[in-house]
Amino acid sequence: MTFQEFITVNLHQFWVLTGFANCTWQHLVMLAVGLFFLWLAIKKNFEPMLLVPIGFGILIGNIPFNGTAGLEIGIYEENSVLNILYNGVSAGWYPPLIFLGIGAMTDFSALIANPKLMLIGAAAQFGIFGAYMVALALGFAPDQAGAIAIIGGADGPTAIFLSSKLAPNLMGAIAVSAYSYMALVPLIQPPIMRLLTTKKERVIKMKPARAVSQNEKIIFPIIGLLLTCFVVPSGIPLLGMLFFGNILRECGVTTRLAKTASNALTDIVTILLGMTVGASTQASEFLTIDTIFIFALGFMAFIIASASGVLFVKLFNIFLPQSKKLNPLIGNAGVSAVPMSARISNNLGLEYDPSNYLLMHAMGPNVAGVIGSAVAAGVLLGFLA
């Protein structure tokens, strides 16, 4: 081999390994999606804490490379660094850690003060099961349909946890879909809420919630854990961590642990979860007709969930005395996008009556939605796993 041939052969080998040589239109589409997510997060300020890691993760996961070279760099290649980080998603242990953080940062006072709001959180789970039926009609198997339908819970960690158990092959699309719709709550929910409520209903003022004692706050995670997990033991990973985080916060003697769980730990896991979920959308695995169906079903599930929450409050109001009527604008918060959907209730309430602050009322169904979606996930897991 001459020196010239030597140089040519090696440069050619190098070229074969570059992203330029391996780039396909699918990669370019996914890179555009990643850039769009980053634009939404940075320029439009849509849930940057979620969309920046996911968007950048999409860029990382869709850099074209030669998959046959055995470089161990792809997220689906065993023992690659990304694959090791992805284990938290594929084995389903990031979501319970996120739930630990959610528990440690959530104040359940609104729910404890007005326990009937829990039922709104349950009603919003209609979205999950409505989407399940449509997914079956579209030809998905029951386990896949269950994994897709959980998007309607608007709960990213739960969606990842359930899909990792029921349909690991669809997990990337389900996770991205769930987080995307959570980020788009400000766009999706208000039109539904306006459509389903009258002007008179939107200005209903609810009584301020009573003060909740410290003892009640301590009892809540204990009773909550025991009751919900006795009913649905398959919800233990999520509900156990949620209530564990909450008791760390409320007991008053583990402040340091509560702070770590709600700040440092949640931040670390959010970074890893978001980035690896984004990176899991590798074009070759992600761009399929199933993904389009999943996004469409997720969107539908989200709409059904929001609508059923609002309609349930209206139904509930029929049985409540005039002085205890609920504002239907808090119904959308039954989906567990915490606290985004509660914020939407508040903003819309203020739009129609600048003195009507619904935030703390909406936080009740909102956190009940977290519990409800975890219970729903446990039910699906119990039935279909």
Window 104-163: residues binding other proteins (CB under 8 A): 105-107, 109, 111-113, 115-116, 118-119, 121-123, 125-126, 128-130, 132-133, 135-137, 141-143, 145-146
Nearer to other proteins, 58 or 145 (CB): 145
- Cβ-based neighbours of 377, under 8 Å, separated by 6 or more: 150, 153, 158, 161, 162, 234, 235, 238
In the complex, the smallest distance separating the C-beta of residue 105 from other proteins, rounded to whole angstroms, is 6
Burial degree of 308 (CB within 10 A; 0-12, 13-18, 19+): buried
In the complex, the smallest distance separating the C-beta of residue 227 from other proteins, rounded to whole angstroms, is 5
DSSP assignments along 120-177, one per residue: HHHHTTHHHHHHHHHHHHTT--HHHHHHHHGGGG--HHHHHHHHHHH-GGGHHHHHHH
Nearer to other proteins, 277 or 375 (CB): 375
- Give the Cα separation of 9 and 3 in Å (integer): 10
Binds other proteins by CB under 8 A, chosen from 17, 252, 292, 320: 252
In the complex, the smallest distance separating the C-beta of residue 215 from other proteins, rounded to whole angstroms, is 7
By CB under 8 A, the residues from 159 to 198 that bind other proteins are none
Using rule CB under 8 A, residue 205 touches other proteins: no
Nearer to other proteins, 180 or 228 (CB): 228
In the complex, the smallest distance separating the C-beta of residue 281 from other proteins, rounded to whole angstroms, is 21
- Give the Cα separation of 377 and 219 in Å (integer): 24
By CB under 8 A, the residues from 254 to 313 that bind other proteins are 255, 258-259, 270
Nearer to other proteins, 1 or 211 (CB): 211
Nearer to other proteins, 80 or 260 (CB): 260
From the centroid of its chain, how far is CA 56?
Answer: 18
By CB under 8 A, the residues from 38 to 57 that bind other proteins are 45, 47-50
In the complex, the smallest distance separating the C-beta of residue 48 from other proteins, rounded to whole angstroms, is 5
Using rule CB under 8 A, residue 77 touches other proteins: no
In the complex, the smallest distance separating the C-beta of residue 292 from other proteins, rounded to whole angstroms, is 21
Using rule CB under 8 A, residue 320 touches other proteins: no
In the complex, the smallest distance separating the C-beta of residue 289 from other proteins, rounded to whole angstroms, is 21
Q: Which residue has the tokens 């119990």?
A: 382
In the complex, the smallest distance separating the C-beta of residue 90 from other proteins, rounded to whole angstroms, is 17
In the complex, the smallest distance separating the C-beta of residue 213 from other proteins, rounded to whole angstroms, is 6
In the complex, the smallest distance separating the C-beta of residue 83 from other proteins, rounded to whole angstroms, is 21
Helix (H, G, I), strand (E, B) or coil at 321: coil
Rounded to 5°, the CA angle 51-375-155 comes to 10
Buried b (16+ CB within 10 A) or exposed e, 88-123: bbbebebbbbbbbbbbbbbebbbbbbbeebbbbbbb
Q: Residues 326-365: x/- map of binding to other proteins (CB under 8 A)? A: ------------xxx-xx---------------x---x--
Nearer to other proteins, 62 or 262 (CB): 262
Nearer to other proteins, 128 or 279 (CB): 128
- Cβ-based neighbours of 284, under 8 Å, separated by 6 or more: 26, 67
- Give the Cα separation of 155 and 170 in Å (integer): 16
Nearer to other proteins, 243 or 286 (CB): 243
Both tokens of residue 155? 């709960």
Phi, psi of 92, deg, nearest 5: 75, 30
Nearer to other proteins, 24 or 213 (CB): 213
- Give the Cα separation of 373 and 168 in Å (integer): 19
Using rule CB under 8 A, residue 249 touches other proteins: yes
Nearer to other proteins, 27 or 249 (CB): 249
- Give the Cα separation of 254 and 243 in Å (integer): 14
